Amino acid sequence: MSDPPTHYPSLIAVAERFASGGAIAAVEAFGSGNINDTFLATVEGTSHLPFVLQRINTRVFRRPQLVMKNMSIFTRHVRDRLQHSPLSRRWEVPRVLLTTEERDHWVEADGSVWRAISFIDGSESFDAMHDVDHATEVGYALGTFHNLISDLSPAQLADTLEGFHITPLYLQHYDRVVAKTAVNLSPEVRYGLEFVRDRASWCAVLETAKTQGKLPLRLMHGDPKVNNVMFDRATGKAVSMIDLDTVKPGLVHYDIGDCLRSGCNPIGEETEQWETVYFEPDLCEGILRGYLSVAQDFLTDSDYDYLFDAIRLIAFELGLRFFTDYLAGNVYFKVKHPDHNLLRALVQFQLTQSIEFQETAIRALIQDLR
Ligand code: A2G
């Protein structure tokens, strides 16, 4: 899966399946996602908004129909809820656009699966955090997202990606890959192997708490990276969360950890300067403040007890996932070169270590914000 396929059907023709009125003017590559192939389709004339066209990666999402069904169920739920009790500020929910045959996805003759989602009008996203105010907005966005789905039962949505964020399962997969791979023991690989070995016995921390009933199963976003938060261009305020493929039953801790590991790494997860990666505590405070301004209503004492572990774990878990994918020959994440996943893993391991060095301060911050 190294390169996006070059044998696309005519993108304009696919986009036209979803265009209700108005001819497609252009379809261009959009965003920097690691899984699906994403395009922005613009429609001729000024009265039609552009929309997001995506080819769903069916090697990852093996049942794309379920992904789309989940999306329709929870976006409808949130829209109804907002209609009955509007928020005091702008908040948008992306819409699933239907084909001319009223279907929520389109299967091309080559078997590729496509869907279209509305683009949030007048909005933009950022790959890295600007400052603490930006961080607070990102936290507010995740809290609002969780809040708006908190009254929808997890049983309403299907598990569209089994094992997603179940760290012990990633570790088992890693062990299997290491056992059957002739690993090239470069210094970086040696470092990665030791890094994982030293944390293996701790990595079931959230799953154990879930099994013991200390952390409830809720609905989660699944991929709340900084660039999945949309900001209003005019006000600079967060107005939506996008990339909704992984909204499914899980722990909100996965999201909190994922949002912090993405948001508090000022040089970003794609940097090649992995030795200089660090976890920025002021941005962490901003995200947590913004998140808790909305989420404190539904978090329990036990939820707070596991926040530090969540922050440390999800950075480690992503490093483990990238490292495993590198060892397995880059079969899951899209890559630009053969060492891409190794570098990404080293970034996440460095971030994990920076979180570990700051454990006392981060725990004290969580305590203060409680
Ligand atoms: O890359 C993808 O979006 C992953 N999504 C997400 O889990 C995270 O790893 C991210 C890192 O940039 C899926 O695996 C579905």
Strand order, beta sheet including 229-232 = 123-124, 229-232, 238-241
Percent of the chain at pLDDT exceeding 90: 92
Domains identified in the chain, total number: 2
- Mean pLDDT confidence for 313-337: 97
By residue count, the chain amounts to: 370
pLDDT for residue 6: 45
Domain boundary among 59, 92, 119: 119
Give the residue numbers spanning the domain of 295.
Answer: 132-369
Helix axes 281-295, 359-369, angle to 10 degrees: 30
3 within a domain of the structure (yes/no): no
Q: Cβ of 368: how many Cβ atoms within 10 Å?
A: 10
- Mean pLDDT confidence for 1-22: 72
Ligand 1, pocket-test mutation among 61, 164, 170, 223, most atoms within 8 A of CB: 223
What confidence tier does 232 reach under pLDDT thresholds 50, 70, 90? Answer: very high
- DSSP code per residue over 168-228: HHHHHHHHHHHHHS-----HHHHHHHHHHHHHGGGTTHHHHHHHTTSS--EEE-S---GGG
Task: Tell me: pLDDT of 5 over 60.
Answer: no
Whether this model's ipTM surpasses 0.90 comes out as: yes
Domain boundary among 95, 119, 143: 119
Domain with residue 15: its CATH number is 3.30.200.20
Domain boundary among 88, 119, 150: 119
Q: Cβ of 120: how many Cβ atoms within 10 Å?
A: 22
Are 212 and 83 contained in the same domain? no
pTM over the 0.90 mark: yes
Ligand 1, pocket-test mutation among 34, 67, 228, 333, most atoms within 8 A of CB: 34
Are 97 and 188 contained in the same domain? no
Ligand 1 centre and the CA of 34: distance in Å?
Answer: 6
260-296 confidence digits (pLDDT tens): 999 999 999 999 999 999 999 999 999 999 999 999 9
**Atom 9 (ligand 1) nearest CA:** 318
pLDDT for residue 1: 42
Q: Is 246 in the pocket of ligand 1 (CB under 6 A)?
A: yes
Identify the CA nearest to 274 among candidates 192, 177, 214: 192
Ligand 1, pocket-test mutation among 35, 165, 261, most atoms within 8 A of CB: 35
19-48 confidence digits (pLDDT tens): 877 799 999 999 888 999 999 999 998 778
Task: Tell me: pLDDT of 98 over 70.
Answer: yes
168-207 confidence digits (pLDDT tens): 999 999 999 999 999 889 999 999 999 999 999 999 999 9
Q: Is 35 in the pocket of ligand 1 (CB under 6 A)?
A: yes
348 within a domain of the structure (yes/no): yes
